[in-house]
Structure 1
Amino acid sequence: MMTHVYILKDQYYDDSAVQPSLVIVYFGGNDSIAAHSSGLGPHVPLDEYIGNMRKIAEHLKSLSEKTRVIFLSCPPLNEEMLRNSTSSTILSEIVRTNETCRLYSDACVALCKEMNLKVVDLWHAMQKREDWMTACFTDGLHLSEEGSNIVVEEILKVLKEAEWEPCLHWKAMPTEFAEDSPFDLVSSSGDATVNPSEWTIHRKIPWD
């Protein structure tokens, strides 16, 4: 998806009685595709991308004093893997480069600093792994499980460190339906049930 404010306004109405507590904005990958000679395609020039992201940020900040916003910058990509996975007679050549992703990522980070918004710099965060080019993608572009784990970890880090009131980190939030229930799983003793509301053992990675 590309940066278009009208899409956002369809999702979040200024006069809604209940506004979101948290919005995570994730644009840039398609915008950063090189312009096609026909003028068609998803490319959005960098200046226009910055302007669109600014409008999106302003709109979200206007929804409510309690609406928090986190921007995710454009992640990197594996150019060779992407070329091999997108070779097709159906599509025209799709030109994506990791350097262009960096330009859009840096622009997003700079805008968020200017507007005092929280931002996750995915372009740099993913490349901290030595094997990022093979571990983080399924096809050079779309994120694998390992790549998605990095996104989750970075978002949780922001939520934990942000001085927001109320705090939106999961450990600080009340658990819904946390009361004991006779319909929970039966314990090994056979005379009681086990409340699973705080279980974390089923998660493949720890949620810090």
Structure 2
Amino acid sequence: MKIRPSIVLFGDSITEQSFRYGGWGASLTDTYSRKADIVVRGYGGYTTRWALFLLHHIFPLSSTTPPVAATVFLGANDAALPGRTSERQHVPLEEYKENLRKIVRHLKNAQKNVCGSTNIVWPLLTRDKNDLFQHKTVLTCYPAMKIPERTNEVTGDYANGCVEVATEFGVSSINLWSRMQETQGWQKKFLSDGLHLTPDGNKVVFEEVIKVFNGAWLSAPDMPYDFPQYSDIDPHNPEKAFRERCL
């Protein structure tokens, strides 16, 4: 018997780093303590093109216990500009959208094989904004010209593409590109190096993900504990509480 459901965080370095101190994944783990297992599957530098090769390993269609939710946070590397140092990561916008479609179809099929497609949540997270002239990689590769590897305008196109795919499939989306622009001075407040998240940036991601989960039957306070609370255990007959919970 599976005691806790799982929630998988699937993405690139922003997901890989999400379990660091103050990270959005770490905050989810704290929120769902004893309610659900938060599983990080983040791969630094990956694009949607490369992420496709991982789907059958992370979300096997043969699994009888698929995750109850999965965040898909990809696009930061797809949006790298051609003709620059990170050109090998560039994925054209239309291919990016088609790759997202393939990811969502796979997730739906993985869930459908068990219990239909109604009990799972897949927020597609759009890319956060970029402050590229602050980015260390840019300043290292182009110290004089400061040529950006990515731009906010292009990143916005990918963010909109992600929202389009989410709408097409009827799944949730979180537009961080727009969300972060609502705050004055977002560059220094939310981004540590022009690309990755500060503690404040991680907090924004966490809050937006929790909003989606709370609106889709995954509110942590309403979920059962994996095993009885200590206050429910009769010291004279402890077996009773565990027997009732595990039946």
Give TM-score scaled by structure 2 length: 0.66
Corresponding residue for residue 41 of structure 2? none
* Greater helix content: 2
Q: Deviations over 1:162-184 (max 9, x none)?
A: 3xxxx112122112345217xxx
2:226 aligned residue (172, 176, 190):
176
Corresponding residue for residue 203 of structure 2? 149
Q: Do structure 1's residue 24 and structure 2's residue 71 form an aligned pair? A: yes
1: CA distance between counterparts of 2:224 and 2:177? 33
Q: Which secondary structure does the structure 1 equivalent of 2:83 belong to?
A: coil
- Which of 1 and 2 has greater Rg? 1
RMSD of aligned alpha carbons: 2.4
Q: Give the residue type in structure 2 aligned to 1:34.
A: L
Corresponding residue for residue 67 of structure 1? 120
Contact 1:19 1:67 (C-alpha < 8 Å) held by counterparts: no
Query: How many aligned residue pairs are there?
Result: 176
Tell me: CA distance 1:150–1:89, structure 2 relative to 1, closer, same or farther (3 Å): closer
Contact 2:86 2:149 (C-alpha < 8 Å) held by counterparts: no
Tell me: CA distance 1:79–1:9, structure 2 relative to 1, closer, same or farther (3 Å): same
The alpha carbon displacement at 1:38 in A equals 9.1
Q: Using CA pairs under 8 Å that are at least 6 residues apart, name the structure with larger relative contact order, 1 or 2.
A: 2
The alignment-based identity, stated in percent, is 30
Contact 1:33 1:94 (C-alpha < 8 Å) held by counterparts: no
Contact 2:132 2:148 (C-alpha < 8 Å) held by counterparts: no
1: CA distance between counterparts of 2:84 and 2:151? 17
Q: Do structure 1's residue 86 and structure 2's residue 86 form an aligned pair? A: no
Gaps of 5+ in 1: 182-208
Q: Give the residue type in structure 1 aligned to 2:221.
A: K
Q: Give the residue type in structure 1 aligned to 2:158.
A: Y
Corresponding residue for residue 108 of structure 1? 162
2: CA distance between counterparts of 1:123 and 1:38? 23
2: CA distance between counterparts of 1:11 and 1:138? 29
1: CA distance between counterparts of 2:85 and 2:201? 33
Q: Deviations over 1:124-177 (max 9, x none)?
A: 111111121110011011000000000000011111223xxxx11212211234
The alpha carbon displacement at 1:39 in A equals 9.7
Moved more, 111-120 or 66-75: 66-75
Corresponding residue for residue 12 of structure 1? 59
Residues 37-56 of structure 1: pairs in structure 2 closer than 5 A: 41-56=88-103
Give TM-score scaled by structure 1 length: 0.77
Tell me: CA distance 1:17–1:110, structure 2 relative to 1, closer, same or farther (3 Å): same
Corresponding residue for residue 190 of structure 1? none
1:3 aligned residue (45, 48, 72):
48
